[in-house]
Amino acid sequence: MALKMRLSRGGSKGNPFYRIVVTESESRRDGRVTDQVGYYNPVSDVPQIELKMDRVEHWLSKGTIPTVTVKKLITAYKAKTAGK
C-alpha cells in the first residue's frame, strides 16, 4: 500500500487545526497514523506552520506522496526558514 503525507483535522467547529501526518492512502482522514511530521494552524493571526524537516525528507525519500496542500505548506515552510 502507498503512503501519503496529508492533513488530519483537529480543533473545534469553526476553529480548525491540522496535523501533517504520514498515513496509508487507504485509511480515513483522521484514521491510523504512521508518523506525525508537523502541524498547520490557519486560524492564528499569522498562519503557523511547523515541520520536522528531517522526518519530512526521510518519508519523501521512502516514496511517500504528499498531497497538493502539503506540498504548498512544505514550500512555504522552506521559504520561511530560509531567511533565518
Through-space distance between the first and last CA atoms of the chain, rounded to whole angstroms: 38
Cell of 39: 502541524
What is the predicted pLDDT for the residue at 84? Answer: 66
Identify the three-state secondary structure at position 15.
strand
pTM of this structure: 0.89
Distance, C-alpha 2 to centroid of its chain: 16
Mean pLDDT per block of 10 residues along the chain (84 residues) reads: 91 93 88 92 91 95 95 94 78
Q: What is the pLDDT of residue 79?
A: 92
- In this structure, are strands 65-66 and 3-12 parallel, antiparallel, or unpaired? parallel
C-alpha cell belonging to residue 47: 498562519
Kindly list the domain boundaries of the chain, sorted by start residue: 3-82
Architecture of domain 3-82: 2-Layer Sandwich (3.30)
How far is 84 from 77, CA to CA, in rounded Å?
11
